[in-house]
Chains A and B, each alone.
Chain A
Amino acid sequence: MKDLRDTPLLVVEDLSKRYGARIGCVDVSFDLWPGEVLGIVGESGSGKSTLLSCLAGQLAPDTGRVLYQGHDTLEMGEPQRRTLARTDWAFVHQNPRDGLRMGVSAGGNVGERLMAVGARNYGAIREAATDWLGRVEIDATRIDDRPRQFSGGMQQRLQIARNLVTAPKLVFMDEPTGGLDVSVQARLLDLLRGLVRDMGLSVILVTHDLAVARLLADRLMVMQGGHVIEQGLTDQVLDDPQAPYTQLLVSSVLQV
């Protein structure tokens, strides 16, 4: 299937972002390969969300390069970057309200992203929206309901449908299962795993939940104080952590 000779989808070189004297993230470099899920873990303030925002083009880094399929996304113009964000990229926010339009119907939320890439046929858009609601396990009868009538878990699944309907290649996820009940989380994890495999998605997943990271991520980066202090295969980093901070992080998780 996938081949070691493939080229990376995303190449990140020496990315740094400071807020005045305060450190956001420093000298972050990594490659992301097609179909790979990279988890970024660390506690609040470790720089993982800053890094994600810089990668997704929502925040301008001070230095460094972000190459998507060989194109420097920091050099390209704003219209090009916006096109990328609507087509090849997707961003799943922790809070569904940040990624959905709460006043628009569920079907409208999904259809809107299709229309943004040029879909015009109402029947086809509605059909795609219905299909996607089904894939994220939202009953088709809810297609005309507003997201605010949905539970938190349903809202999150709707946000995922809205993001994936245009078949992106790279998905940024910021704590996608945060704030959900454990049972709802499990359902979402299962759904995400299936979608990642079936669509061959590459994902950059920010989470502070090591259990979520273990189940979803192929590879992990551990951040502390803006620096990547350890990276490697997910189960290796979690079962044989090398850095003092990673050891502390792993040993602090309560066993159930």
Chain B
Amino acid sequence: MIEIKNLCKSFTLHNQGSAVIPVMTGAHLRVAPGECVALTGASGAGKSTLMRMIWGNYLAASGVIRVGDLNVAQASAREIIALRRDTLGYVSQFLRVVPRVPTLRVVAEPLLALGTPEAQAEARAMDLLERLNIPQRLWQLSPTTFSGGEQQRVNIARGFAHPYPALLLDEPTASLDGANRAVVLDLIAAAKARGAAIVGIFHDEAARAQICDREVDVTAFTPMPAGVAP
């Protein structure tokens, strides 16, 4: 479902003396439907960079990023928008929403964008918010004022509203208490069971061991500084 071949990335900082910073070279990854793969490696090794490239948020310098039928590395904006709507979900660490939109709407939005009838989309959103223990009195409020853990759970509910065939999870269990952590792990397990291909970053080792089928250390894709033997 997700296949990465020989992926490279560098940043050119035009306003800082045009410094070129290579951040990834020769990355490979294959994730089958129903499989959950954890990206590991020290902070700064490129886990988030790789994830953002799969999402189409960072441009690839070269290589292939295939999600379903689409090569994200070469795709047009319009194709990536369609991919994100239908095929690829992403739970980021931060919630970014239009201020003032009620939580229920925020969670239902991915379904509404797919043309799901409003009542059905909201029913699904309510179910997820309830499972993730977001008190009902908060559903009509904007999540921008919520605590970190609550925002995280709203983000997860939103990411799981539509059964995407492929999912990216960036620290989905960080800043959650035990009960909510268990709910999130259940959601991930259910997504695997229905055949979703999942790429995740988990600093929570126990969660990783429980839910992930394989680990891929991205340090292997970190470019070596010039003159240092690999």
Residues of A within 8 A of B (CB): 1-2, 4, 33, 36, 186-187, 189-190, 193, 197, 214-215, 218-219, 231-233, 235-236, 239-240, 242-244, 247-248, 251
| Shortest CB distance B66–A (Å) | 17
Complex contact A193–B57 (CB within 8 A): no
Cβ-defined partner of A233 (8 Å) among B56, B96, B98: B56
Contact A1-B114, Cβ < 8 Å, known A186-B98, A236-B58, A239-B52 = yes
Interface presence of B214 (CB below 8 A) = no
Closest chain B residue to A8 by CB distance? B78
Q: Judging by beta carbons under 8 Å apart, are B59 and A240 in contact?
A: yes
Complex Cα spacing A1 to B113, Å = 9
In whole angstroms, how far apart are the Cα atoms of A242 and B60 in the complex?
11
Q: Which of A33, A197, A235 contacts B57 (CB 8 A)?
A: A235
Q: Specify the chain B residue showing the minimal Cβ separation from A198.
A: B112
- Nearest CB to that of B144 among chain A residues? A186
Q: 9 A-B contacts, Cβ less than 8 Å apart?
A: A1-B85, A36-B81, A186-B98, A189-B99, A190-B99, A193-B98, A233-B81, A236-B77, A247-B13
User: How many whole Å from A219's CB to the nearest CB in chain B?
Assistant: 5
Chain A residues with CB under 8 Å of B52's CB are 239-240
Q: Which of B58, B78, B82 contacts A219 (CB 8 A)?
A: B78
Decide: A232 and B78 in contact? CB cutoff 8 A: no
Min C-beta distance of B226 to chain A, whole Å: 24
- Is B43's beta carbon under 8 Å from chain A? no
Question: B85 contacts which chain A residues (CB < 8 A)?
Answer: 1
C-alpha gap A33/B79 in the complex (Å): 12
Contacts of A189 in B (CB 8 A): 98-99
Select which of A215, A240, A247 is within 8 A of B58 by beta carbon.
A240
Q: Does B115 contact A (CB under 8 A)?
A: yes
Q: Which are the 6 A-B pairs with shortest beta-carbon distances?
A: A244-B14, A186-B99, A233-B77, A240-B58, A1-B115, A219-B77
- Closest chain-A Cβ to B115's Cβ sits at a distance in Å of 4
**CB-defined contacts of B99 to chain A, threshold 8 Å:** 186, 189-190
- Does A215 contact B98, Cβ atoms closer than 8 Å? yes
**A186 to B97 alpha-carbon distance, docked (Å):** 10
Q: Verify B59–A242 contact, CB threshold 8 A.
A: yes
Contact with A218, one of B77, B96, B100 (Cβ below 8 angstroms): B77
Give the chain A neighbours of B58 by CB distance below 8 A. 236, 239-240
Q: What is the CA–CA distance of A23 and B44 in the complex, to the nearest angstrom? A: 44
Q: Is the CB of A218 within 8 A of B81?
A: yes
CB distance from B142 to the nearest CB of A (A): 9
CA distance A231 to B52 in the complex (A): 18
- Within 8 Å CB of A219, what residues of B? 77-78, 81
Give the one of A193, A235, A243 with max B CB within 10 A: A235
A190 touches B77 (CB 8 A): no
**Least CB separation from B78: chain A residue:** A33
Tell me, yes or no, whether B145 is within 8 Å of chain A by CB: no
Q: Is the CB of A36 within 8 A of B78?
A: yes
